[in-house]
Amino acid sequence: MSSICYKENMLMCEEVPFIDLAEEYGTPLYVYSKNQIIKNFRSLKAAFGESGHTICYALKANSNPAILKIFAEEGAGADIVSAGELYLALKAGFSPNKPAFAGVGKRDDEIEYALQKNIFAFNVESVQELQAISRLAMRANVRARISFRINPHIDAQSHPYITTGLHTNKFGIEDTQALEVYRYAATLPAIDIIGIHTHIGSQIIKVEPFVDTARSVAGLIGKLREAGIVIRHIDFGGGFGVKYFNALQHEALPIEDQAHAGIPSPADIIKAVLPILLETGCSVWIEPGRSLIADAGVFVTKVLYTKETSAKKFVVVDGAMNDLLRPSLYGAHHQIVPAVINTYEHRQVDVVGPICESGDFFAKDRMLAKVGPGEVLALLTAGAYGFVNTSNYNGRLRPAEVMVNGERVRVIRPRQTFEELI
Ligand code: LLP
């Protein structure tokens, strides 16, 4: 059972009612369940059975230091895309020999910092980047371990903005060019080739694209070995989808679209790809973000007003697109539920924030419990790509974040203050 659920008509995070959290810490607010995070990590780990592996947490999903510390303590590695994320990972206690550094645009200063920290590997996305790493490693008189991120031209069947494994995407090196690029890398004195990296996209809710990618990677490793290039390591990326629809069920809640009914769990996906990957004899790493943290986080907001036009009913809340961008940016769905269920009556509404844009919405034409001013709403599955995408747009303060552990609550990031706007 999830750590976020109803006890009778009260929505709880572990042992604490959301209504109390809203009262005590104010809204808008991010709330996380520590035990759900740990459960997510350990169940993914269990899917590997006895096989050696490393789960690198993708910091980009949520880089709150208190959350990073939990993953570091669980023994996770770190998937980073900037020097800033490397800094955060090391501060949080991740082992320096576990970060893998991805991204199409690594700057010289970022590469230098990563070389200085002797990170596990650079996941290299272009020949020019390889040359930059080689030049900087030579200058520093060190060697750089690298994998190439291979773009296998496999459709993740996700939102176009978060699909990364097609040849029309900016990511990685086309699979057709892989052999040539590895051969070139093998000639560079300060470069140690260790492996191969893929990541075909995010919020992938089918097993097939992962299986196709595993087969493509295994095939390529075979070809590289025939060419005398030794590959010892596979970083299989992240991208495991989570359930955004009907995340919570209660007889008083409207049943949502069945879009996410029966989606594979991360463990199902691992079980499908692992035999293919292990067959290569390589060590296997993965780098999930969303599936480790999304369902452990909730965005909490309060209803300010309700209003009606001749065409629509609106619920105006105190949270906005600057606090949780996903609905505005991707048309993403987050289930919205009351902190306290007071009624079985529903209305079709748009849930909107105070920002001066019509794109500032959390839901459109959504069946929602009938609510009025002062009531508290919870947007579920908001732990990933939530707080990290906040901004001060419209002069709004970034929300606070709290962590619940049983009956205990800890502020893990205080609400911003006006002084911090300057
Ligand atoms: N590895 C690499 C190289 C990545 O680019 C990403 C995510 C991950 C791992 C982690 O993927 P995950 O397991 O979280 O799907 N802001 C978007 C998601 C962007 C994903 C970017 N890359 C959203 O809110 O849906």
Atom of ligand 1 nearest to the CA of 238: 13
Residues 127 and 151 in one domain: yes
Atom of ligand 1 nearest to the CA of 384: 24
Q: Is residue 19 part of a domain?
A: no
Residues 212 and 159 in one domain: yes
- Percent of the chain at pLDDT > 90 equals 93
Average pLDDT over residues 285-308: 98
- The pLDDT value recorded for residue 96 is 76
Residue finishing a domain among 249, 272, 292: 292
pTM tops 0.95, yes or no: yes
Residues 280 and 303 in one domain: no
User: What is the separation, in whole angstroms, between the first and last Cα of the chain?
Assistant: 44
- CB-based contact 383:14 (threshold 8 Å): no
- Cβ atoms within 10 A of the Cβ of 417, count? 8
- The pLDDT value recorded for residue 162 is 85
Residues 238 and 131 in one domain: yes
Average pLDDT over residues 28-45: 98
Sequence-distant (≥ 6) Cβ neighbours of residue 165 within 8 angstroms: 151, 152, 153, 154, 155, 156, 171, 172, 198, 199, 200, 201, 209, 213
Q: Is 16's pLDDT higher than 90?
A: yes
Reported as a single tens digit per residue, the pLDDT across 223-279 is: 999 999 999 999 999 999 999 999 999 999 999 988 888 899 999 999 999 999 999
Residues 244 and 360 in one domain: no
Cβ–ligand 1 distance for 293 under 6 Å, the answer: no
Residues 251 and 123 in one domain: yes
Atom of ligand 1 nearest to the CA of 203: 15
Q: Which two tokens stand for residue 218?
A: 């295994």
Question: Distance, CA 37 to ligand 1 centroid (Å)?
Answer: 17
> What is the residue range of 322's domain?
295-421
Q: How far apart are CA 222 and CA 86, in angstroms?
A: 32
SS3 373: coil
- Closest C-alpha to 31, from 302, 320, 409: 409
Residues 341 and 207 in one domain: no
Average pLDDT over residues 129-155: 97
Q: How confident is the model at residue 365 (pLDDT cuts 50, 70, 90)?
A: very high
Q: Is residue 47 part of a domain?
A: yes
**Residue nearest to ligand 1 atom 24, measured at CA:** 385
SS3 73: helix
Question: Distance, CA 9 to ligand 1 centroid (Å)?
Answer: 34
Q: Which DSSP state fits 161? A: G
Kindly report the CATH number assigned to the domain that includes residue 75.
3.20.20.10
Average pLDDT over residues 322-342: 97
Give the DSSP per-residue string, 3-22.
Answer: SEEEETTEEEETTEEHHHHH
Residue finishing a domain among 292, 318, 337: 292
Q: Is residue 22 part of a domain?
A: no
Give the DSSP per-residue string, 123-158.
Answer: EE-SHHHHHHHHHHHHHHT--EEEEEEEE------S
Q: How confident is the model at residue 339 (pLDDT cuts 50, 70, 90)?
A: very high
- CB-based contact 72:94 (threshold 8 Å): yes
Reported as a single tens digit per residue, the pLDDT across 169-202 is: 899 999 999 999 999 999 999 999 999 999 999 9
Give catalytic status of residue 13 as yes or no.
Answer: no
Q: Is 1's pLDDT higher than 80?
A: no
**Residue nearest to ligand 1 atom 6, measured at CA:** 238
Residues 162 and 281 in one domain: yes
- The pLDDT value recorded for residue 15 is 98
Cis? peptide before 160, omega within 30° of 0: no
Average pLDDT over residues 40-54: 94
Kindly report the CATH number assigned to the domain that includes residue 326.
2.40.37.10
**Residue nearest to ligand 1 atom 19, measured at CA:** 162
Residues 253 and 348 in one domain: no
Q: How far apart are CA 42 and CA 76, in angstroms?
A: 10
Average pLDDT over residues 330-358: 97
Residues 276 and 408 in one domain: no
- The pLDDT value recorded for residue 262 is 87
- The pLDDT value recorded for residue 257 is 87
Average pLDDT over residues 330-342: 97
- The pLDDT value recorded for residue 157 is 85
Cβ–ligand 1 distance for 197 under 6 Å, the answer: no
Q: Is residue 217 part of a domain?
A: yes
Reported as a single tens digit per residue, the pLDDT across 80-93 is: 999 999 999 999 99
- The pLDDT value recorded for residue 258 is 84
Q: Is 24's pLDDT higher than 90?
A: yes
Residues 88 and 220 in one domain: yes
- The pLDDT value recorded for residue 204 is 96
- Cβ atoms within 10 A of the Cβ of 406, count? 12
Phi-psi region of 55 (alpha: psi -120 to 50; beta: other; left: phi over 0): beta
Q: Give the number of domains in the chain.
A: 2
Q: Is residue 284 part of a domain?
A: yes
Q: Which DSSP state fits 265? A: P
**Helical axes 108-116 vs 83-92, angle rounded to 10°:** 30
Residue finishing a domain among 273, 292, 311: 292
- The pLDDT value recorded for residue 145 is 97
Q: Is residue 196 part of a domain?
A: yes
Residues 257 and 168 in one domain: yes
- The pLDDT value recorded for residue 116 is 96
What value does the mean pLDDT of the chain take?
96
Q: Is residue 336 part of a domain?
A: yes
